[in-house]
Homo-oligomer: A and B are copies of this chain.
C-alpha cells in the first residue's frame, strides 16, 4: 500500500481530519468541486477554457464517487479530511464526509493543486514560504455559460534567483497550474496585498525578494459560486484530495 492509499484510509476512517498541506509529498493533491449534472457541461467548458487556474485531473461519471483515473478505489464522499458546502452560494457548516449530500446526479471534479509543486520547489532548494497568500486580481477569465470570474492567484515571495528556478520548475507541472502568470509588481495585475482573500495583510514586500503569482484553484470555485448552484461541495481550504498520481512522473495523466 502506498503512502497515498494509507493516507486516504486514515481519512476515511476518521483518524485524520486535519489539513493535507505539506503532507504525503510526492503525490499529486487535488481541489474538489462537486456540482449537479445540469451545471457540469458549463463547468467542464469553463475549466477547458481556463486551464491555468482549472487544470482538470479527473471528472467522475454522474452519481459515481470513484475517481477512476486519479485514485482507483477511492471515494470522493469520504476520502477528504474536511469538506465545505454551499447552498445557493452560501456556505454551510463544514463536514468530514458527504455521503448524505452526494446525489445520483452529482459530478465530482478534481483540479490539480499547487501543493504539488511546493514540494518540488523545496527539493530544488527554494525554501517554502511561511505563508502562501491567495489574492483576487483584475484579470478576467474566459467565461463559459453562466460561469465567469476574475483570476484568483496564489502569491509566494522569493529571491530573483529562486524565481528563475521556480519559473522553470513549475512549468514542468502544467496540471498543477504550471508556470507563474506574473512576477513583480502586484498592481500590474490588480492584486491588493493589503486585502488578500487568505493570508495576513502585507504592507510592504521585504527587501531582496519579489512576489511571484500563480493561477489558483479558488478561481473555479468563485466562478461556480456566482451562479448560486442549488448545492456545491468543495474541499475545505488546505484539506485536499490525495491522489495516487506521482508528482514527478506526471506530465499528463
**A residues near B, CB below 8 A?**
40-41, 44-45, 47-49, 51-52, 56, 58-59, 68-69, 142, 171, 174, 178-179, 251-253
- A41 in complex: contacting residue of B44, B49, B174, CB < 8 Å: B44
Chain B residues near A44 (CB, 8 Å)?
Answer: 41, 44-45, 48
Pairwise interchain contact A171-B251, C-beta atoms closer than 8 A: yes
A147 to B138, CA, bound (A): 39
A251 to B253, CA, bound (A): 16
Pairwise interchain contact B142-A69, C-beta atoms closer than 8 A: yes
Within the complex, what minimum Cβ distance (angstroms) separates A198 from chain B? 24
Within the complex, what minimum Cβ distance (angstroms) separates A10 from chain B? 28
A209 to B174, CA, bound (A): 31
Pairwise interchain contact A251-B56, C-beta atoms closer than 8 A: no
Chain B residues near A41 (CB, 8 Å)?
Answer: 40-41, 44
- A253 in complex: contacting residue of B40, B51, B56, B171, CB < 8 Å: B51
Chain B residues near A179 (CB, 8 Å)?
Answer: 251-252
Pairwise interchain contact B69-A59, C-beta atoms closer than 8 A: no
With A41-B41, A49-B59, A174-B174 known, 7 other A-B pairs at CB within 8 A are: A45-B59, A47-B48, A48-B48, A48-B56, A48-B59, A51-B252, A51-B253
Chain B residues near A52 (CB, 8 Å)?
Answer: 252
A251 to B51, CA, bound (A): 10
Chain B residues near A142 (CB, 8 Å)?
Answer: 68-69
Chain B residues near A51 (CB, 8 Å)?
Answer: 252-253
Q: Which residue of B lies closest to A172 (CB)?
A: B171
Which of A45, A58, A179 lies at the interface centre, i.e. has the most chain B CB atoms within 10 A of its CB? A45
Q: Which residue of B lies closest to A51 (CB)?
A: B252
- A69 in complex: contacting residue of B47, B49, B56, B251, CB < 8 Å: B49
Q: Which residue of B lies closest to A109 (CB)?
A: B48
- A252 in complex: contacting residue of B45, B47, B59, B174, CB < 8 Å: B174
Within the complex, what minimum Cβ distance (angstroms) separates A107 from chain B? 9
Chain B residues near A59 (CB, 8 Å)?
Answer: 45, 48-49
Q: Which residue of B lies closest to A55 (CB)?
A: B252
